[in-house]
Amino acid sequence: MIVYVNGQWLEDTEATVSFQDRAFVFADAVYEVLHIYNGALFKLDLHQERLQKGLDTLRIPYRANDLKPVFDELLKRNPGVQRGSLYVQVSRGAAPRAHGLPKLKEPTIVAYVKPFQPDLRIWEQGGRAVLVEDLRWQMCHVKTTGLLLNCMAKEEALERGCDDAIFHRGEIVTEASASNLFIVKNGTLLTHPNGPWILPGITRHVVIELARKEGIPVEEVQFTKADLLAADELFLTGTLSEVAPYVEVDGQKIGNGQVGPVTRRIQEAFRSETGV
Ligand code: PMP
């Protein structure tokens, strides 16, 4: 696999970054994952916009738009990747370890693409989730590489024989370990409002637009664990997982335990939007 690291195109086995890179030492970095459908990047503009906001928040001096030629070249060098993912990470760069933000001119940029095939089991039958207390920080809207608690929540789900973890802060349900979350109640979609407790997902945004076009009402409001367990339907949204139905939480069935009709409509609308 050929990867991009700081202006160079290298075999993945040859690609390295400094041990002093601030991504490695402090998670001082932001990243994006994009879905490649039919050899093209899906919603590139929205991913670039979110990346730019993250860079600005962390005060990393870099323009996300400058990545466009790198992405084009990555796709050109990997023509076999018709369906896949693109990972890009921008860190502040390498500097001797110190907490203050060094004024670095050269961020560290890493980007690569690889083939991806969706998990049809969850798409078709629905997944199973566990609830996990959200102990992450108050800046979940910034897509930094500091994902350890997301990883630990996912691991807890896997160890309990489930597919994913759903975070809650006290009684309030926020999002999942790597996805946003929607419930369906009496034909209306409910999802946690954007803010410091969730990532403003691109898929979440697309789903809200598609639902409104389909005439399905959407409310961006907080709801509780009890609301989640009493929901008619549940699905998670993410760049790679798309619209993933979930039919069980903490061993309790959601609705009748089957993937519901509203979820199916959203899945179909999303699939048409991707052109796959
Ligand atoms: N929340 C978290 C914590 C995530 O890691 C992700 C995936 N990056 C999402 C939500 C979904 O965001 P998107 O639809 O942009 O992939």
Instruction: Clarify whether residues 131 and 263 are in a common domain.
Output: yes
Which single residue is written with the structure tokens 């907490």?
99
**Which residue stretches of the chain are H helix?**
22-26, 44-58, 68-77, 120-125, 148-159, 202-213, 225-229, 261-274
Tokens representing 52 are 């730019």
185 tagged catalytic: no
Ligand 1 and 150: CB distance under 6 A: yes
Spatial separation of the C-alpha atoms in residues 150 and 146, rounded to whole Å: 9
Phi/psi of residue 190, nearest 5 degrees: -120, 135
Instruction: Clarify whether residues 80 and 139 are in a common domain.
Output: no
pLDDT at position 119: 84
210-225 pLDDT, tens per residue?
Answer: 999 999 999 999 999 9
Say how many C-beta atoms besides its own lie within 10 A of residue 214's C-beta. 12
Atom 5, ligand 1: which residue's CA is nearest?
178
81-91 pLDDT, tens per residue?
Answer: 999 999 999 99
What does the H/E/C string look like for the chain? CEEEECCEEEECCCCCCCCCEHHHHHCCEEEEEEEEECCEECCHHHHHHHHHHHHHHHCCCCCHHHHHHHHHHHHHHCCCCCCEEEEEEEECCECCCCCCCCCCCCCEEEEEEEECCCCHHHHHHCEEEEEEECCCCCCCCCCECCCHHHHHHHHHHHHCCCCEEEEEECCEEEEECCCEEEEEECCEEEECCCCCCCCCCHHHHHHHHHHHHCCCCEEECCCEHHHHHCCCEEEEEECCCEEEEEEEECCEECCCCCCCHHHHHHHHHHHHHHCC
Instruction: Clarify whether residues 159 and 37 are in a common domain.
Output: no
**How many structural domains compose the chain?**
2
pLDDT band at 174 (very low <50, low <70, confident <90, very high): very high
Picking from 98, 115, 132, the residue at the C-terminal end of a domain is 115
Pocket test for ligand 1, best of 41, 142, 239 (most atoms within 8 A of CB): 239
Instruction: Clarify whether residues 175 and 85 are in a common domain.
Output: no
86-121 pLDDT, tens per residue?
Answer: 999 999 999 999 999 999 999 999 999 999 999 899
224-257 pLDDT, tens per residue?
Answer: 999 999 999 999 999 999 999 999 999 999 999 9
pLDDT at 76 over 90: yes
Q: Percentage of the chain with pLDDT > 70?
A: 100
Instruction: Clarify whether residues 146 and 269 are in a common domain.
Output: yes
Atom 2, ligand 1: which residue's CA is nearest?
178
Ligand 1 and 144: CB distance under 6 A: no
Query: Which residue in the list 143, 154, 213, 225 is annotated as catalytic?
Result: 143
Distance in Å, CA 96 to ligand 1 centroid: 31
Instruction: Clarify whether residues 90 and 214 are in a common domain.
Output: no
Ligand 1 and 178: CB distance under 6 A: yes
Atom 13, ligand 1: which residue's CA is nearest?
201
Distance in Å, CA 181 to ligand 1 centroid: 10
Instruction: Clarify whether residues 11 and 144 are in a common domain.
Output: no
Instruction: Clarify whether residues 231 and 146 are in a common domain.
Output: yes
Atom 4, ligand 1: which residue's CA is nearest?
178
Domain region containing 102: 2-115
Comparing C-alpha atoms, which of 228, 235, 225 is closest to residue 258?
Answer: 235
Spatial separation of the C-alpha atoms in residues 162 and 252, rounded to whole Å: 12
Instruction: Clarify whether residues 233 and 250 are in a common domain.
Output: yes
Picking from 78, 100, 115, the residue at the C-terminal end of a domain is 115
pLDDT at 269 over 90: yes
Q: What is the dihedral of CA 133, 139, 145, 151, to 10 degrees?
A: 0
Instruction: Clarify whether residues 140 and 236 are in a common domain.
Output: yes
Instruction: Clarify whether residues 144 and 220 are in a common domain.
Output: yes
Tokens representing 99 are 């907490």
Domain with residue 52: its CATH number is: 3.30.470.10
Picking from 115, 134, 155, the residue at the C-terminal end of a domain is 115
Domain with residue 168: its CATH number is: 3.20.10.10
Instruction: Clarify whether residues 135 and 16 are in a common domain.
Output: no
Distance in Å, CA 238 to ligand 1 centroid: 5
